[in-house]
Structure 1
Protein backbone atom coordinates (compact mmCIF):
# COMPACT_ATOMS: atom_id res chain seq x y z
CA UNK A 1 0.00 0.00 0.00
CA UNK A 2 1.32 3.49 -0.87
CA UNK A 3 0.68 6.59 1.13
CA UNK A 4 0.33 9.91 -0.68
CA UNK A 5 2.23 12.42 1.48
CA UNK A 6 1.87 15.39 -0.81
CA UNK A 7 0.11 18.37 0.59
CA UNK A 8 -3.04 19.14 -1.29
CA UNK A 9 -2.38 22.90 -1.24
CA UNK A 10 1.14 22.76 -2.76
CA UNK A 11 0.85 21.99 -6.43
CA UNK A 12 4.22 22.71 -8.03
CA UNK A 13 2.71 23.13 -11.47
CA UNK A 14 0.55 26.02 -10.31
CA UNK A 15 3.27 28.06 -8.61
CA UNK A 16 5.36 30.60 -10.53
CA UNK A 17 9.01 29.58 -10.52
CA UNK A 18 11.56 32.06 -9.26
CA UNK A 19 13.84 32.81 -12.17
CA UNK A 20 17.41 33.77 -11.62
CA UNK A 21 18.05 36.45 -14.21
CA UNK A 22 21.55 37.27 -13.05
CA UNK A 23 24.42 36.96 -15.50
CA UNK A 24 25.77 33.47 -15.95
CA UNK A 25 29.49 33.33 -15.20
CA UNK A 26 31.76 32.16 -17.98
CA UNK A 27 32.82 28.66 -16.96
CA UNK A 28 35.35 28.13 -19.72
CA UNK A 29 38.87 28.29 -18.44
CA UNK A 30 41.15 30.55 -20.34
CA UNK A 31 44.11 28.62 -21.61
CA UNK A 32 47.39 29.82 -20.26
CA UNK A 33 50.00 29.99 -22.93
CA UNK A 34 53.64 29.76 -22.07
CA UNK A 35 55.64 31.84 -24.45
CA UNK A 36 59.17 30.90 -25.28
CA UNK A 37 61.62 32.91 -23.26
CA UNK A 38 65.17 31.89 -24.11
CA UNK A 39 66.48 33.83 -21.11
CA UNK A 40 64.91 31.38 -18.65
CA UNK A 41 67.24 28.52 -19.58
CA UNK A 42 70.64 27.89 -18.05
CA UNK A 43 72.27 28.02 -21.47
CA UNK A 44 71.92 30.20 -24.53
CA UNK A 45 69.93 28.82 -27.43
CA UNK A 46 71.35 29.07 -30.93
CA UNK A 47 69.42 30.97 -33.60
CA UNK A 48 68.21 27.77 -35.31
CA UNK A 49 66.98 26.42 -31.95
CA UNK A 50 65.04 29.62 -31.25
CA UNK A 51 63.62 29.57 -34.78
CA UNK A 52 62.44 25.97 -34.28
CA UNK A 53 60.90 26.70 -30.86
CA UNK A 54 59.04 29.70 -32.25
CA UNK A 55 57.81 27.67 -35.23
CA UNK A 56 56.54 24.96 -32.87
CA UNK A 57 54.86 27.55 -30.66
CA UNK A 58 53.19 29.13 -33.71
CA UNK A 59 52.01 25.71 -34.88
CA UNK A 60 50.55 24.91 -31.46
CA UNK A 61 48.65 28.20 -31.41
CA UNK A 62 47.30 27.78 -34.94
CA UNK A 63 46.29 24.15 -34.52
CA UNK A 64 45.13 24.38 -30.91
CA UNK A 65 47.13 21.26 -30.13
CA UNK A 66 49.25 21.41 -27.03
CA UNK A 67 51.14 18.20 -27.80
CA UNK A 68 51.74 17.75 -31.54
CA UNK A 69 52.37 14.30 -32.96
CA UNK A 70 55.71 13.30 -34.49
CA UNK A 71 54.20 13.79 -37.96
CA UNK A 72 53.18 17.33 -37.05
CA UNK A 73 56.66 18.11 -35.70
CA UNK A 74 58.14 16.79 -38.94
CA UNK A 75 55.73 19.05 -40.87
CA UNK A 76 57.00 22.08 -38.91
CA UNK A 77 60.62 21.07 -39.57
CA UNK A 78 59.93 20.71 -43.30
CA UNK A 79 58.16 24.07 -43.38
CA UNK A 80 61.36 25.58 -41.98
CA UNK A 81 63.17 24.24 -45.06
CA UNK A 82 64.88 21.18 -43.60
CA UNK A 83 64.87 17.89 -45.45
CA UNK A 84 66.90 14.71 -45.58
CA UNK A 85 69.46 14.49 -48.35
CA UNK A 86 69.70 11.37 -50.46
CA UNK A 87 73.02 9.54 -50.72
CA UNK A 88 73.52 10.99 -54.22
CA UNK A 89 72.90 14.54 -52.98
CA UNK A 90 75.36 14.05 -50.12
CA UNK A 91 77.97 12.79 -52.57
CA UNK A 92 77.31 15.62 -55.08
CA UNK A 93 77.71 18.21 -52.34
CA UNK A 94 80.87 16.57 -51.04
CA UNK A 95 79.39 16.04 -47.59
CA UNK A 96 80.07 12.30 -47.37
CA UNK A 97 83.28 12.63 -45.39
CA UNK A 98 82.21 15.53 -43.21
CA UNK A 99 82.28 14.68 -39.52
CA UNK A 100 79.89 16.18 -37.03
CA UNK A 101 81.63 18.68 -34.72
CA UNK A 102 82.17 17.49 -31.17
CA UNK A 103 80.28 19.02 -28.27
CA UNK A 104 83.41 20.88 -27.17
CA UNK A 105 83.90 22.32 -30.67
CA UNK A 106 80.28 23.47 -30.78
CA UNK A 107 80.53 25.15 -27.37
CA UNK A 108 83.80 26.86 -28.35
CA UNK A 109 82.31 28.19 -31.59
CA UNK A 110 79.23 29.50 -29.75
CA UNK A 111 81.41 31.31 -27.20
CA UNK A 112 83.21 33.21 -29.96
CA UNK A 113 79.92 34.55 -31.33
Structure 2
Protein backbone atom coordinates (compact mmCIF):
# COMPACT_ATOMS: atom_id res chain seq x y z
CA UNK A 1 0.00 0.00 0.00
CA UNK A 2 1.44 3.35 -1.04
CA UNK A 3 1.22 6.53 1.06
CA UNK A 4 -1.28 7.92 -1.45
CA UNK A 5 -3.53 4.88 -0.93
CA UNK A 6 -3.48 5.41 2.83
CA UNK A 7 -4.74 8.97 2.46
CA UNK A 8 -7.71 7.96 0.28
CA UNK A 9 -10.99 7.29 2.09
CA UNK A 10 -11.88 3.62 2.14
CA UNK A 11 -14.97 2.33 0.46
CA UNK A 12 -16.87 0.28 3.08
CA UNK A 13 -18.28 -1.97 0.36
CA UNK A 14 -14.76 -3.08 -0.58
CA UNK A 15 -13.74 -3.84 2.98
CA UNK A 16 -14.02 -7.61 3.51
CA UNK A 17 -14.91 -7.25 7.21
CA UNK A 18 -17.78 -4.89 6.49
CA UNK A 19 -21.20 -6.24 7.30
CA UNK A 20 -24.31 -4.12 7.08
CA UNK A 21 -26.12 -4.67 10.37
CA UNK A 22 -29.73 -3.64 10.72
CA UNK A 23 -30.17 -0.54 12.88
CA UNK A 24 -31.96 -2.45 15.65
CA UNK A 25 -28.91 -4.71 16.17
CA UNK A 26 -26.48 -1.84 16.69
CA UNK A 27 -25.76 -1.30 20.38
CA UNK A 28 -25.27 2.25 21.53
CA UNK A 29 -22.95 2.16 24.55
CA UNK A 30 -24.28 5.51 25.70
CA UNK A 31 -27.66 3.90 26.40
CA UNK A 32 -26.24 0.93 28.30
CA UNK A 33 -26.08 0.35 32.03
CA UNK A 34 -24.25 3.03 33.94
CA UNK A 35 -21.72 1.31 36.20
CA UNK A 36 -22.10 4.10 38.73
CA UNK A 37 -25.74 3.08 39.21
CA UNK A 38 -24.75 -0.42 40.26
CA UNK A 39 -24.61 0.04 43.98
CA UNK A 40 -22.23 -2.07 45.96
CA UNK A 41 -21.79 -1.94 49.68
CA UNK A 42 -18.86 0.26 50.68
CA UNK A 43 -15.76 -1.64 51.79
CA UNK A 44 -14.26 1.09 54.01
CA UNK A 45 -11.33 1.29 51.58
CA UNK A 46 -12.78 4.06 49.42
CA UNK A 47 -10.92 7.33 49.21
CA UNK A 48 -12.30 10.54 47.83
CA UNK A 49 -10.56 11.71 44.70
CA UNK A 50 -9.95 15.10 43.22
CA UNK A 51 -9.19 18.54 44.56
CA UNK A 52 -9.98 19.21 48.16
CA UNK A 53 -9.78 15.65 49.35
CA UNK A 54 -8.84 15.45 52.97
CA UNK A 55 -6.16 13.02 53.97
CA UNK A 56 -6.03 11.34 57.33
CA UNK A 57 -3.04 12.26 59.45
CA UNK A 58 -1.82 8.69 58.95
CA UNK A 59 -1.65 9.16 55.16
CA UNK A 60 -0.75 12.85 55.12
CA UNK A 61 2.42 12.52 57.17
CA UNK A 62 3.66 9.60 55.06
CA UNK A 63 3.02 11.47 51.80
CA UNK A 64 4.90 14.46 53.17
CA UNK A 65 7.85 12.25 54.05
CA UNK A 66 7.26 12.25 57.79
CA UNK A 67 6.60 8.64 58.68
CA UNK A 68 5.56 7.52 62.11
CA UNK A 69 7.46 4.69 63.82
CA UNK A 70 5.10 2.03 62.53
CA UNK A 71 5.37 3.16 58.90
CA UNK A 72 9.15 3.49 59.12
CA UNK A 73 9.58 0.03 60.67
CA UNK A 74 7.40 -1.48 57.91
CA UNK A 75 9.44 0.33 55.24
CA UNK A 76 12.71 -0.98 56.74
CA UNK A 77 11.32 -4.52 56.94
CA UNK A 78 10.18 -4.47 53.29
CA UNK A 79 13.52 -3.01 52.20
CA UNK A 80 15.47 -5.67 54.13
CA UNK A 81 13.29 -8.45 52.64
CA UNK A 82 13.87 -7.15 49.11
CA UNK A 83 17.61 -6.87 49.69
CA UNK A 84 18.22 -10.33 51.22
CA UNK A 85 15.87 -12.15 48.83
CA UNK A 86 16.90 -10.22 45.68
CA UNK A 87 13.26 -9.37 44.92
CA UNK A 88 12.33 -5.99 43.51
CA UNK A 89 8.61 -6.58 43.93
CA UNK A 90 7.52 -8.77 46.87
CA UNK A 91 4.36 -10.80 46.32
CA UNK A 92 1.28 -10.36 48.51
CA UNK A 93 2.28 -13.51 50.37
CA UNK A 94 5.73 -12.03 50.98
CA UNK A 95 4.19 -8.83 52.36
CA UNK A 96 1.88 -10.81 54.66
CA UNK A 97 4.87 -12.85 55.87
CA UNK A 98 6.75 -9.63 56.68
CA UNK A 99 3.74 -8.20 58.51
CA UNK A 100 3.37 -11.33 60.64
CA UNK A 101 7.11 -11.42 61.40
CA UNK A 102 6.85 -7.79 62.56
CA UNK A 103 4.49 -9.11 65.23
CA UNK A 104 1.10 -8.25 63.78
CA UNK A 105 -1.73 -10.67 64.50
CA UNK A 106 -5.42 -10.53 63.61
CA UNK A 107 -6.77 -9.89 67.11
CA UNK A 108 -9.64 -7.54 66.19
CA UNK A 109 -12.66 -7.92 63.94
CA UNK A 110 -12.16 -6.43 60.49
CA UNK A 111 -13.15 -2.83 59.79
CA UNK A 112 -13.61 -3.76 56.13
CA UNK A 113 -16.82 -4.89 54.49
CA UNK A 114 -15.81 -7.58 52.01
CA UNK A 115 -19.26 -9.13 51.85
CA UNK A 116 -19.66 -12.85 51.44
CA UNK A 117 -16.32 -13.13 49.64
CA UNK A 118 -14.38 -13.56 52.89
CA UNK A 119 -15.08 -14.85 56.36
CA UNK A 120 -13.70 -12.68 59.15
CA UNK A 121 -11.71 -14.33 61.95
CA UNK A 122 -9.48 -13.41 64.87
CA UNK A 123 -6.58 -15.03 66.70
CA UNK A 124 -4.82 -14.55 70.01
CA UNK A 125 -2.07 -11.95 70.07
CA UNK A 126 0.57 -14.35 71.36
CA UNK A 127 0.32 -17.02 68.64
CA UNK A 128 3.44 -17.73 66.55
CA UNK A 129 3.61 -16.12 63.12
CA UNK A 130 3.27 -19.48 61.39
CA UNK A 131 5.54 -18.42 58.53
CA UNK A 132 8.83 -19.98 59.69
CA UNK A 133 9.79 -23.52 58.77
CA UNK A 134 9.47 -26.02 61.61
CA UNK A 135 12.79 -26.53 63.46
CA UNK A 136 13.39 -29.98 61.94
CA UNK A 137 13.14 -28.56 58.37
CA UNK A 138 15.44 -25.55 58.84
CA UNK A 139 18.75 -25.48 57.01
CA UNK A 140 21.64 -24.71 59.33
Same fold (TM over 0.5): no
Structure with greater contact order relative to length (CA < 8 Å, sep ≥ 6): 2
Larger Rg: 1
